[in-house]
Chains A and B, each alone.
Chain A
Amino acid sequence: MTGHWNDFKNADVLLTCGSNNVENHPESARWVRAACDKGAISIVVDPRYTRSAAVADVYCPIRPGTDITFWGGLINYIIQNDKWQKEYVLTYTNASYLVHEDYSFDVETGLFSGWDESKQKYVTTSWGYQEEESVAPNTGTGGAFAYVLKPGTPEFTPPHKEVPRKDMTLTDPNCSFNILKEHYSRYDIETVTKVCGMDAETLEQVYSLYASTGAPEKVGAILYALGQTQHHYGSQNTRAMCLVQLLLGNIGVPGGSVNALRGEPNVQGATDMAMLVYDFPGYMKWPTVASHPTLRAWLEHETYADGYYTNKPKFFISALKEWYGEHATVDNDYGYDWLPKIGSTDFTTMSTFEQMDAGVIKGYFCWGMNPANSTANTKFARQALSKLEWLVAVDWVETETACFWRAPDLDPAEIQTECYYLPAALIYEKMGSISNSGRWIQWRYKALDPVDEAKPDYEICDLLWSEITRLYREEGGPCAEAILNVKWDYHRDGKIDPRAVSMALNGYKWKDGADWDSRELLSTFGDLGADGSTACALWIYSGFWANNDDRWEAASQKVGGRALEDPSGLGLYPGWAYAWPLNRRILYNRASADAEGKPWNPERNVVEWTGSEWVTNDVPDFGFKTTAADGTVTWTPPNNKAFMMLWEQNARLVSYSLKDAPLPEHYEPFESPADNALNKRQNSPMIQFADHPSVKRGDRSEYPIAVTTYSVVEMWQTGSQTRGCPALVEARPEQFIEMSVELAEEKGIQNGDTVRVWNNRGDVKLSAFVTRRIKPLMVNGELCHVVGMIHHWGWAGMYSTADTVNDLAPNVGDPNSYIPEFKAFLVNVEKA
């Protein structure tokens, strides 16, 4: 998130949608409450009246999968009622930019301009800007690209900046703002209630309360989680929230932000480190065959013409230097050719099982993940696993994946897969860093030894790597250079040590022959070079481990900071842990002040221009000063460049950055109880995997009930860990399906009855929980039943087992993130 957890307390209005925050992120409750105790209003929008709804001021129901309609309606409400923050929008967003003349959206086809039917994808040119002029890159002294002339920098041509045409009066119909306004004019209150199922009175109350934060001195926070993302248009849901926050001037301001509540304690860390297929560590792109066959191509494709990412080559080359060390030189493109490139085969999670099923993937390392129980359409995933030659499962406990052959629907006699289980140490049994949703990196110390043969993951990695490289040295093998040239020196006293890894992540000056006791650690990524003079595995973490004087002691590093002082009173706690980048607590904090640099609200003062200098409570996230070689500081007066990670340095209303739409548009879930009332295309044209035979789409005539899946506070994900804790099993002993009194009556189901829930993909039995907290909704004039299921159970474990609910979820997903659609699909229900 661009803010952080403590920051919720600064909000005037908190809107939770797509998250059951107090239940699944219990610590968030503390900060939401702190805001409410000061008079803030909290709103929960959810298909169910959840524990979060119970402690909120306003509850508004919604049909699963219709969030874009809800947000689109809010955008329309904000504009129609003139609630948008004009100075903010005009100064810091691309509202005034003229979008390409060819831009269009056709309600009849549900398609934006640029659709290529044969390739089933968009050409996004028409979602870009009209060009005013093209400016050549400045490679002169002091220019953004001066560094490209330094010896050691690989040859590449920096991009020209295509300066967009603007109309600050917003009269041109192609202004980004006017296109947005026109696009959402269809999302009126009546349409929204018809699609989403809530009543108009409640909806208008929610809109009115939240739109009030458009006043410059007011601020609103949006809290979301997987309820927004796990849809085949999940990325567009997220974009819709950004649009709302930009229109109301709520990004970069304390108490604002689009707050992604991340569940797994280290999901943030995992994305920082690029655990996603298409990412390179530090939110850069992993090279693909199509776009980046050479280092020159990568640099020319990924470097921005303006903004902070003009420096991207410095981060990438420094990373390559860390990967290949002394073997990485300018003459061999810093080892770029050794990096594997992504080809035409898709290795995202859903496709992985498709590849296994097709026999392409023959072996599978399953590390800290339980796809036999957690992925969408788990039945298909298990059948795919059974075609593997070998499987290695690394986890704390024996998960369903580790013993997939024992699944009730599989016959062990027919499965030839050789399975290995490597016990991993618990979080408390090893040292290392952990990054929370607010980007705070904190150090965790080892509390006790791992049980029996269990080992920390990094030790398992090290053993594996040592053996692979030994075999390569002795016997050779394919791509030997790419393996043997890797720098793998993260040891101390002969043992792998996360503190050495931390120094590598932080970055240091490269010196041949130096080791972890002598390398000079850097305190900022501003010192990284594209010339091989520095090595840095993860540029965004720079500074978190930079104390050269006590380099092996975490407590002496910023990551180990435990200072309780909060000088600003805004909950920034600058001395507690380290917030990447550069210990910045609120990203885009330039936008917390107006065009003249005065805070929108003096009580939320993060950065302020006094007329001669910037006074700051947080680390400024903009070009605020320049320091000359002789140390002379020149302050940069306020300008409109509040979003320096984009080349425009202004936030995007209309955007060409996602694959599936320039503006979020409502499509129905893959399996939906209703027809699309906003355009004539039922699903997003870019939906992934919909045609795969394993998906077995169900129709509403057979499966009329809309379902969503979620977690409860007592259990965690597939329950592997929590179902192993007797006190938690006692607190939540059984899997249940929540259904309305009306549906239960219709089906003759009593509270506590065992019910059968099924669709074309699966068939599970679980207990009925009949409640008034879920109600049928009127959708397009017809009654729509909604049920909800928790999904923490499987056949493994000692204390509590049950059917796997994820058998029912469709393995279709989003074209940007490849996340499956767990949150909205169809089932039928009967008394078992």
Chain B
Amino acid sequence: MSTEMAIYFDSSACTACKGCQCACKCWNSLPSPLGLNANEFTHSYQSPMDLNGNTRLIMRFEENESPKKWGVEWSFGRRSCMHCSNPGCASVCPSGALSVDEATGFVRVEEDKCIGCRYCETACPFDVPRYYGPDSKVNKCTACLDRQENGRAAQINNGTGVTQTQFNVPACVHTCPPGALDFGPRDEMIAKAYERVEFLKNREIDPSPHASVYGDKLFDGAGTHVIMVLKYPVETYGLPVDPKVSPMVDLLGWMKPLTGLAAAATVAGLGLSFLTGIGYKRDTLHYDEKKH
């Protein structure tokens, strides 16, 4: 029997310790630069600045003016795959490397099937897929389906001080010290998120009037399998308020059976025009502290 699952992220509880970012790297054996002083200073607490072929999850930092006396708000966001219910990436993937996991609803990655066409890059409304290696293999969050499926037991703490054995949770959720991440049946995670938003809005001191749930209703209600509690307005987290899957994705999905694996060159050509046509403009969401 399948249960729709979801990763829960509460930005109001997150302390941006990057434990999740590092746990993701460690569990998934994703390398970091090894040269002496090989990393560039990002001019931010955010580092690396964006996802890359070896980085599936980063913590996102943004400073904003605040009406409060000392004038600043600092939002901590999670930037990684949102695991859409109707994922554009899987729709356009000609090789079956990306697919929806029937048991949980997460977007599965089978990189040995990836042909490096990069369709998914342009299809993703959140600019998530990245590539690595000479064959340009796709690299994105797998929701640690390997842990989930292989019975990796874990105890998680939901922040109330009660430690309980729950599901076989993703590495990021497992490591989160303040309990800002959680994992469970999607409807439960959504309910928890709404409860939290109500709490944040109605705090006596320092209420969060803009608090919202993100991910449950996107894409005309189809939603995602990452459910977020956003303390500040959606834009401050670099997330699109109303992301759209391009109509081109349907077109490409329709063409997929025709092209297949043998017609990779045609697909690549199509993809190129696709890229220039509807590609998500990463720069517009890229936060540069120098500008502020």
Task: Say if A and B assemble together.
Answer: yes
Contact status of A729 and B32, CB under 8 A, knowing A23-B17, A29-B15: yes
Within 8 A of A (CB), among B21-70: 21-22, 25-26, 31-45, 47-48, 55, 63, 65, 69-70
A772 within 8 A of B: yes
Cβ-closest chain A residue relative to B30 = A727
Question: Do A55 and B15 touch across chains, with their CB atoms under 8 A apart?
Answer: yes
Chain B residues, CB < 8 A from A209: 205
A742 within 8 A of B: no
Question: Do A772 and B71 touch across chains, with their CB atoms under 8 A apart?
Answer: yes
Q: Provide the bound-state CA to CA distance between A52 and B183, in Å.
A: 25
Question: Do A731 and B43 touch across chains, with their CB atoms under 8 A apart?
Answer: no
Chain A residues, CB < 8 A from B284: none
A33 contacts which of B36, B45, B48, B179 (Cβ < 8 Å)?
Answer: B179
A713 contacts which of B18, B44, B204 (Cβ < 8 Å)?
Answer: B18
Q: How far in angstroms is the closest Cβ of chain B from A303?
A: 41
B277 within 8 A of A: no
Question: Do B36 and A49 touch across chains, with their CB atoms under 8 A apart?
Answer: no
Chain B residues, CB < 8 A from A31: 161
Q: How far in angstroms is the closest Cβ of chain A from B167?
A: 19
Question: Do B15 and A731 touch across chains, with their CB atoms under 8 A apart?
Answer: no
Cβ-closest chain A residue relative to B160 = A34
Cβ-closest chain A residue relative to B68 = A59
Question: Do A752 and B41 touch across chains, with their CB atoms under 8 A apart?
Answer: yes
A295 within 8 A of B: no
Q: Annotate B174-213 by CB proximity to A: 1 below 8 A, 0 otherwise.
A: 0001110000000000000000000100011110000000
Q: Annotate B137-181 by CB proximity to A: 1 below 8 A, 0 otherwise.
A: 000000000000000000001011101000000000000011100
Cβ-closest chain B residue relative to A31 = B161
Contact status of A751 and B290, CB under 8 A, knowing A22-B17, A27-B177, A37-B159: yes
Contact status of A33 and B13, CB under 8 A, knowing A750-B290, A752-B43, A799-B36: yes
B63 contacts which of A564, A767, A772 (Cβ < 8 Å)?
Answer: A772
B286 within 8 A of A: no
Question: Do B290 and A30 touch across chains, with their CB atoms under 8 A apart?
Answer: no
B104 within 8 A of A: no
Within 8 A of B (CB), among A474-514: none
B18 contacts which of A33, A714, A734, A773 (Cβ < 8 Å)?
Answer: A714
Q: How far in angstroms is the closest Cβ of chain B from A411?
A: 22
B101 within 8 A of A: no
Question: Do A58 and B36 touch across chains, with their CB atoms under 8 A apart?
Answer: no
B16 within 8 A of A: yes
Chain A residues, CB < 8 A from B75: 54
Q: How far in angstroms is the closest Cβ of chain A from B75?
A: 8
Q: How far in angstroms is the closest Cβ of chain A from B291?
A: 9
Question: Do B160 and A58 touch across chains, with their CB atoms under 8 A apart?
Answer: no
B19 within 8 A of A: yes
Q: Provide the bound-state CA to CA distance between A37 and B10, in Å.
A: 13
Q: How far in angstroms is the closest Cβ of chain B from A193?
A: 13
Q: How far in angstroms is the closest Cβ of chain B from A116?
A: 45
Cβ-closest chain A residue relative to B73 = A54
A6 within 8 A of B: yes
Chain B residues, CB < 8 A from A34: 159-161
B39 contacts which of A199, A734, A798 (Cβ < 8 Å)?
Answer: A734
Question: Do B41 and A733 touch across chains, with their CB atoms under 8 A apart?
Answer: yes
Chain A residues, CB < 8 A from B16: 51, 54, 713
Cβ-closest chain B residue relative to A736 = B41
Q: How far in angstroms is the closest Cβ of chain A from B289?
A: 5
Cβ-closest chain A residue relative to B157 = A30
A410 within 8 A of B: no
Q: Annotate A800-811 by CB proximity to B: 1 below 8 A, 0 otherwise.
A: 110000000000
Chain A residues, CB < 8 A from B48: 730
Chain B residues, CB < 8 A from A63: none
A728 within 8 A of B: yes
Q: How large is the interface on B (under 10, 10 to 19, 20 to 34, 35 or more residues)?
A: 35 or more
Chief secondary structure at chain B's binding surface: loop
Question: Do A202 and B22 touch across chains, with their CB atoms under 8 A apart?
Answer: no
B72 within 8 A of A: yes
Question: Do A801 and B37 touch across chains, with their CB atoms under 8 A apart?
Answer: yes
Question: Do B69 and A201 touch across chains, with their CB atoms under 8 A apart?
Answer: yes
Question: Do A61 and B47 touch across chains, with their CB atoms under 8 A apart?
Answer: no
A791 within 8 A of B: no
A769 within 8 A of B: yes
B160 contacts which of A37, A39, A57 (Cβ < 8 Å)?
Answer: A37
B34 contacts which of A41, A199, A751, A799 (Cβ < 8 Å)?
Answer: A799
A58 contacts which of B13, B31, B199, B205 (Cβ < 8 Å)?
Answer: B205
Cβ-closest chain B residue relative to A56 = B206
Question: Do B39 and A730 touch across chains, with their CB atoms under 8 A apart?
Answer: yes
B122 within 8 A of A: no
Question: Do A731 and B22 touch across chains, with their CB atoms under 8 A apart?
Answer: yes
Q: How far in angstroms is the closest Cβ of chain B from A735?
A: 9
Contact status of A54 and B74, CB under 8 A, knowing A729-B39, A736-B41: yes
Question: Do A54 and B76 touch across chains, with their CB atoms under 8 A apart?
Answer: yes
Within 8 A of B (CB), among A752-770: 752, 767, 769-770
Question: Do B36 and A726 touch across chains, with their CB atoms under 8 A apart?
Answer: no
A9 within 8 A of B: yes
Question: Do B32 and A769 touch across chains, with their CB atoms under 8 A apart?
Answer: no
Question: Do B40 and A770 touch across chains, with their CB atoms under 8 A apart?
Answer: no
A564 contacts which of B19, B39, B163, B206 (Cβ < 8 Å)?
Answer: B163
Q: Annotate A18-35 by CB proximity to B: 1 below 8 A, 0 otherwise.
A: 000011001101110110
Q: How far in angstroms is the closest Cβ of chain B from A210?
A: 13
Question: Do B17 and A49 touch across chains, with their CB atoms under 8 A apart?
Answer: no
Interface centre among A34, A58, A61 (most CB of B within 10 A): A34
Chain B residues, CB < 8 A from A590: none
A732 within 8 A of B: yes
Q: Provide the bound-state CA to CA distance between A831 and B204, in Å.
A: 45
B33 contacts which of A51, A53, A730, A732 (Cβ < 8 Å)?
Answer: A730
B42 contacts which of A714, A733, A771 (Cβ < 8 Å)?
Answer: A733
Q: How far in angstroms is the closest Cβ of chain A from B22?
A: 5
Q: Provide the bound-state CA to CA distance between A564 and B55, in Å.
A: 36
Chain B residues, CB < 8 A from A564: 163
B224 within 8 A of A: no
A382 within 8 A of B: no
Q: Annotate A679-701 by CB proximity to B: 1 below 8 A, 0 otherwise.
A: 00000000000000000000000
Q: Provide the bound-state CA to CA distance between A556 and B41, in Å.
A: 50
Question: Do A800 and B161 touch across chains, with their CB atoms under 8 A apart?
Answer: no
Question: Do B157 and A726 touch across chains, with their CB atoms under 8 A apart?
Answer: no
Q: Provide the bound-state CA to CA distance between A60 and B70, in Å.
A: 8
Chain B residues, CB < 8 A from A800: 36-37, 39
Contact status of A59 and B22, CB under 8 A, knowing A29-B15, A729-B32, A751-B43: no
Q: How far in angstroms is the closest Cβ of chain A from B18?
A: 5
Q: How far in angstroms is the closest Cβ of chain B from A604?
A: 15
Cβ-closest chain A residue relative to B41 = A734
Cβ-closest chain A residue relative to B24 = A727
Q: How far in angstroms is the closest Cβ of chain A from B223?
A: 26
Q: Annotate B114-127 by CB proximity to A: 1 below 8 A, 0 otherwise.
A: 00000000000000
Contact status of A29 and B161, CB under 8 A, knowing A57-B203, A727-B25, A775-B71: no
Chain B residues, CB < 8 A from A771: 63, 289
Within 8 A of A (CB), among B76-129: 76
Cβ-closest chain B residue relative to A55 = B15
Q: Annotate A40-53 by CB proximity to B: 1 below 8 A, 0 otherwise.
A: 01000000010111
Q: How far in angstroms is the closest Cβ of chain A from B32?
A: 4
Ranked 10 nearest A-B pairs via Cβ: A733-B39, A726-B32, A29-B178, A730-B32, A752-B43, A22-B15, A26-B177, A734-B41, A57-B206, A54-B74
Q: Which B residues fall within an 8 A CB radius of A? A: 12-19, 21-22, 25-26, 31-45, 47-48, 55, 63, 65, 69-76, 157, 159-161, 163, 177-179, 199, 203-206, 289-290, 292
- 10 A–B pairs (Cβ distance < 8 Å), ordered by A: A22-B178, A29-B15, A31-B161, A34-B159, A51-B16, A54-B76, A57-B205, A201-B69, A733-B47, A772-B65
Known: A57-B205, A772-B65. 14 other contacts (CB 8 A): A27-B177, A29-B178, A30-B177, A34-B159, A34-B161, A51-B74, A51-B76, A199-B69, A713-B17, A730-B33, A730-B39, A752-B290, A775-B70, A800-B39
